Structure 1
Amino acid sequence: MAEVSAEARIDAPTEKVWATLTDFSRYGEWNATHTNFPQGAPTSLEAGGRFEENMKLMGFPAEVTWTVEDLEAARTLAIRGKGPMGVNVGTRYTLTPDGEATTVRIDGEFTGAAVSLMAGKLKDSATAALNESLRKLNGLVT
């Protein structure tokens, strides 16, 4: 298993950050691992909903089928996905109001036999991608 996380304070109200974070037509503008949505960007989110995403991490392309596990508007979005080589991926976005700003935390988890072979490099690459994503998200909403 490999677990990663990153957190940033964004100088924008939680609702504005949430609107950008869940606008999947703009996902590629800030998400550093996103390549495309092969069946089109999701237009709505609901618990149990599914969508497919093409990603790139550590230079390797991967298609992930995501399921929305937890959704609380302007607070939490948790998705769990199945990728190639038996790798399972979990991502949780948590937004916390901080005065006129918002603290955004992204937690990621990778499990599966292939993960144990490359856990160290995967953690480094995924952590860098999370930090870059938060930097880009900040640029979009502020």
Structure 2
Amino acid sequence: MAEVSAQERIEASAEKVWAQLTDFTSWGRWNATHTGFPEGGPATLEAGAVYQENMKLMGFPAEVAWTVEACEPGRVFATRGKGPMGVNLTMRYALTPEGETTTVRVDGEFTGPAVSLMAGKLRDSATAALNESLRKLGGLVA
């Protein structure tokens, strides 16, 4: 298993951050691992919604089938995914408003037989990508 997390304080309201985070047409502008949505983002943003995402991590392309686990507008967006080689993923974005700023925390987990072979390298690469993504997200809404 490889667990990853990143946190960034963004100089924007939670509503502004949430609007950007859930605008799936703009993910390529801020999400460092995202390369595309073959069929678009989720049709509805609610628990149980499914969508496909093309990603690149550690230089390797992957298609992930995501299911929305939780969606609390302005607060939490959590997903569970299945990737190649039996890799399972979870991602959870949590927004904490603090006046006109928002702390965004992302927690992720990678599990599966292939992960155990490269857990340390995957953790480092995914953490760097999360930190870069949050900086870019902040730049779009600030």
Q: How far apart are residue 43 of structure 1 and its match?
A: 4.1
Query: Which residue in 1 is equivalent to 2:62?
Result: 62
* Structure 2 Cα separation of the partners of residues 15 and 62 of structure 1: 31
Q: What is the identity, as a one-letter code, of the residue corresponding to 1:36? A: G
Equivalent position of 1:79 in the other structure: 79
Report the TM-score, using the length of structure 2 for normalisation: 0.98
- The alignment-based identity, stated in percent, is 73
1:78 deviates by: 0.3
Looking at structure 2, the residues matched to 130 and 96 of structure 1 have their Cα atoms a distance apart, in angstroms, of 17
**Partner of residue 124, structure 1:** 124
Equivalent residue for 1:50?
50
Q: How does 1:3-14 map to 2 (within 5 A)?
A: 3-14=3-14
CA distance in 2: counterparts of 1:75 and 1:48, whole angstroms:
17
1:38 is paired with a residue whose SS is coil
Shift of 1:98: 1.3
Q: What is the TM-score of this pair, normalised by structure 1?
A: 0.98
In the alignment, structure 1 residue 90 sits paired with structure 2 residue 104 = no
How far has the Cα of 1:99 moved from its partner? 1.9
Q: Name the CA distance, whole Å, in 2 between partners of 1:13 and 1:57.
A: 30
Kept in 1: contact 2:68–2:78 (CA 8 A): yes
3-state SS of 1:42 partner: coil
Kindly provide the CA deviation profile for residues 51-105 of structure 1, in whole angstroms up to 9, marking residues without a partner as x. 0000000000000000000110000000000000000000000000112100000
Measure how far apart 1:40 and its partner are.
2.1
For 2:41 and 2:50, the matched residues in 1 are separated by 11
Aligned equivalents of 1:49 and 1:89: distance in 2? 16
1:102-113 aligned at under 5 Å gives the runs 102-113=102-113
Q: How many residues align?
A: 142
CA RMSD of aligned residues (A): 0.7
Question: Could you list the per-position Cα deviations for residues 32-61 of structure 1 after superposition, in whole angstroms to 9, with x for gaps in the alignment?
Answer: 000001112334311100000000000000
Unaligned runs of 5+ in 1: none
CA distance in 1, matches of 2:85, 2:74: 33
CA contact (8 A) 2:43 2:49 kept: no
